[in-house]
């Protein structure tokens, strides 16, 4: 199952490190990272594979959501299908 992680917030050191550590700890493989800085704002979309994950999508969303809030970031974790159905026919 592929999952999309979106991170938006004030740029700082260690955002990608924090996220990728949590993903590695939960056996989640990163497939694609698209990241840029827009007017000082960190903006990243990650595509990950959760088929071997040891955490559920819902729990990952909650975990990253809490970590994100602590770092001043808005982090969303969503099943990729919501984007597929809306943008691909």
Partner 1 sequence: MFTMKDVNETNRMIEENKLDIRTITMGISLRDCGHPDTKIFCQNIYDKITRTAEKLVKTGEDIEAEYGIPIINKRISVTPIAIAAESCHTDSYVAVAQALDAAAKEVGVNFIGGFTALVQKGYTNGDRILISSIPEALAVTERVCSSVNLGSTKAGINMDCVREMGEIIKLTAERTKDRDALGCAKLVVFANVPEDNPFMAGAFHGVGEPEVTIHVGVSGPGVVKRALEDVRGRDFSTVAETIKRTAFKITRVGQLVAQEASRRLGYPFGIIDLSLAPTPAVGDSVAHILEEMGLESCGAPGTTAALALLNDAVKKGGLMASSHVGGLSGAFIPVSEDAGMIAAIECGSLSLEKLEAMTCVCSVGLDMIAIPGDTSAATISAIIADEAAIGMINNKTTAVRIIPVPGKAVGDTVEFGGLLGYSPILPVSKFKSDDFIARGGRIPAPVRSLTN
User: Which residues sit at the interface with partner 1, rule CB under 8 A?
Assistant: 4, 6, 32, 34, 43, 45, 47, 57-58, 61, 76-88
Nearest-approach distance from CB 82 to partner 1, in angstroms: 5
Read off φ and ψ for residue 53, nearest 5 degrees.
Answer: -65, 150
- Which distant-in-sequence residues (6+ apart) come within 8 Å of 26 by Cβ? 53, 54, 55, 60
Nearest-approach distance from CB 66 to partner 1, in angstroms: 14
Nearest-approach distance from CB 45 to partner 1, in angstroms: 5
């Amino acid at each position: 199952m592929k999952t999309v992680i979106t991170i938006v917030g004030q740029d700082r050191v260690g955002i990608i490190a924090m996220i990728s550590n949590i993903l590695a700890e939960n056996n989640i493989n990163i497939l694609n990272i698209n990241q840029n800085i827009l007017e000082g704002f960190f903006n990243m979309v990650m595509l990950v594979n959760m088929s071997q994950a040891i955490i559920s999508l819902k729990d990952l969303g909650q975990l990253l959501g809490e970590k994100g809030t602590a770092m001043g970031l808005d982090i969303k974790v969503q099943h990729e299908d919501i984007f597929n159905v809306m943008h691909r026919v």
